[in-house]
Amino acid sequence: MISTRTAAALAAGLLTATALAGCSSDDSGGDGSYTVGVANFTLSGPYFNGMDKAIEARAKKKGVEVRSTDAGGDAAKLAANVDDLLAKGVDAVIVSGGPLESAPAVLNAIKAAGKPAVLVDRKFQTGDYTSWIGPDNEAIGKQNGDFLLERLPDGGKVAIIKGGPADNSIGLARTGGVKQALDGAPGIELVEAPDYGDWTTDGGLKVMEGLLAAHSGIDAVFCENDAMCLGAQRAVADAGREKDIVLAGVDGQTEAVKAILDGTNYLVTGLNDADEIGSLGLDRTLAVLDGEETEKDTVVPSPMVTEDNAKKYYDPDGNF
């Protein structure tokens, strides 16, 4: 189902007609005649798991059968899973590529089978696909950077925690956006953690502990996703620095939105709603199968979530 916060975004006009072009309405498409395969590179993180659940929930509402697979972080297994889905006769494949920059074997196999390939969240750098739905990661990073700049009018030391690996274009875009806002700003010093947080809460905790040990006077922390930022927040609290250090994340994970709503030192996140993108990805797939004219690429808006509006986006019953 589309979550409460997704409905709020729709009501607020944050999803433009362009962003929704080619996505079917609640009452159209999905007559039960389609079977859609979902090829997940990984379901180990809350974001990807939430997106997979959103696709399944949306498909159930539409009367569409979904066959979901998990490659466990193995690119070869992802390709094998797609081959298996195609052999079982799925009508289309939704691909959630996780950190992969490309998956030529996957896209080539889908193309050779004459089936649509719809990418969600991750847009591959190479290869032929039918359609993509996801966020503008650089814009999310920049809006977080702008927020921190306003928060630190007298300057300050801003730490950056990256997910990795070094060529991850999503992480590069998010941190690049933050740097656009903060690089060269009077009194702002940027400190990038030397190690990666691996997009996990435990990873964020460990990297933040290292930053606190190596750098005094940190005023703010930007993390490339909320999971790492939640770990960083724990490390800051363990060090007794929660009154001195504020945090900014990305994705709109439920626990992060709750921390913002509760008025903690977690001040902002950029909504990259796994429920929304998963649901719209399924809708786009059905629109393609129904022969509708659809966009090649659709950027889903990512509103900034702060204490002022967190109540609107907090959905404890959502998939993410």
* Residues 271, 313 contacting (CB under 8 angstroms): yes
- Unique residue bearing structure tokens 């690119």: 75
Residue-averaged pLDDT of the chain: 90
Question: pLDDT value at position 90?
Answer: 97
In this prediction, residue 32 has a pLDDT band, given cuts at 50, 70 and 90, of low
Provide the b/e sequence for 121-160 (b: ≥16 CB within 10 Å).
bbbbeebebbbbbbbbbbbbbbbbbbbbbeebeeebbbbb
CA atoms of 313 and 311, how far apart (whole Å): 5
What's this model's pTM, rounded to 2 decimal places? Answer: 0.83
> Does residue 30 have a pLDDT over 60?
no
CA atoms of 228 and 38, how far apart (whole Å): 26
Q: Is the domain 137-271 a CATH 2.40.10.480 member?
A: no
Determine how many CB atoms are found less than 10 A away from the CB of residue 293.
Answer: 8
Q: Which two tokens stand for residue 204?
A: 């964020």
Question: pLDDT value at position 45?
Answer: 79
Beta bridge partners of 132: 119, 297
32 to 59, 158, 294: CA distances (angstroms): 9, 51, 21
pLDDT in tens, 286-302: 999 999 999 999 999 99
In this prediction, residue 46 has a pLDDT band, given cuts at 50, 70 and 90, of confident
17-134+273-300: what fold?
A: Rossmann fold (3.40.50)
Beta bridge partners of 246: 220
CA atoms of 181 and 220, how far apart (whole Å): 14
Domains of the chain, by residue range, sit at 17-134+273-300, 137-271
pLDDT in tens, 106-146: 999 999 999 999 999 999 989 999 999 999 999 999 999 99
Q: Which two tokens stand for residue 241?
A: 């620095």
DSSP string, 107-175: HHHHHHTT--EEEESPPPSSS--SEEEE--HHHHHHHHHHHHHHH-TT-EEEEEE--S-TT-HHHHHHH
| CATH fold match for the domains 17-134+273-300 and 137-271 | yes
> Does residue 58 have a pLDDT over 90?
yes
